Amino acid sequence: MIARSDIREMDNRIGAIKEAATDLQKISLGIQAIDRNVERILATVAMLEINISDVASMHREERFDS
């Protein structure tokens, strides 16, 4: 059984990767080599969100509801 705190921690790191990738895109000067590779990074991050962050956010909502 994986602890909720571990899932939360993983989710935090996933959020940080997403933020870093998005920040990089903002300063890319429109360079395709950056923009397109960031697109790919973000698609992979979306898989991490599906695998981890969706569960973490469900746990957060449960805490909020109760």
Interface residues with another protein (CB under 8 A) are 1-2, 7, 39-40, 42-44, 46-47, 50-52, 54-55, 57-58, 61
CA dihedral 13, 55, 59, 42 (to 10 degrees): 40
Distance in Å, CB of 20 to another protein, minimum? 18
Distance in Å, CB of 4 to another protein, minimum? 10
Distance in Å, CB of 30 to another protein, minimum? 15
10 SS3 class = helix
User: Rounded CA gap, 48 and 65, in Å?
Assistant: 25
